[in-house]
Amino acid sequence: MKHKLECCGFVAFMLLLLAVSASFAHDVSIAGAARLGNGPIIDSGTYRIELVKNQDSSEAVFYQGNDQVARVPVTVVSEPSKAKRTEVHSELRDDGRVITQIRLQGSREALVFEQAREESE
């Protein structure tokens, strides 16, 4: 009986870990309209970001409420320490502000957005 209870507890714990790892969602505030790497432009506001990890690639999906606003490819990069707060890194280019990276609070991963390659003349 004790063995059966331990097995059920272990299975419940593993299912909880799986559920937590599958729901990688965080809130992020964007101060002004910006392009997501090479992707779409999003307006200022608060978004929920979900990271979708596939075997070959990863995508960041941006939601406002229940509405999907954007879906863009990202490269997931491991950082040496967890982010103490959510950080949105951007740069100003000729065509406006471009978000290059987002670090999410409590995560060791940084989401790096695809960058446009500048052509040399």
**CA distance linking residue 104 with residue 28, whole number of Å:** 8
Largest CA distance in the chain: 75
Give me the long-range contacts of 81-88 (CB less than 8 A, separation at least 24): 81/108, 82/106, 82/107, 82/108, 83/107, 83/108, 83/110, 86/26, 86/27, 86/28, 86/29, 88/28, 88/29, 88/30, 88/31
Better-predicted residue by pLDDT, 101 or 95: 101
Question: What are the pLDDT digits (tens) for 11-49?
Answer: 555 544 444 444 468 999 999 999 999 999 999 999 999
Kindly give, in sequence order, each residue whose CB lies less than 8 Å from that of residue 9, ignoring residues fewer than 6 positions away: none
| Residue 72, pLDDT score | 96
| Residue 17, pLDDT score | 46
Q: Is the pTM of this model over 0.85?
A: no
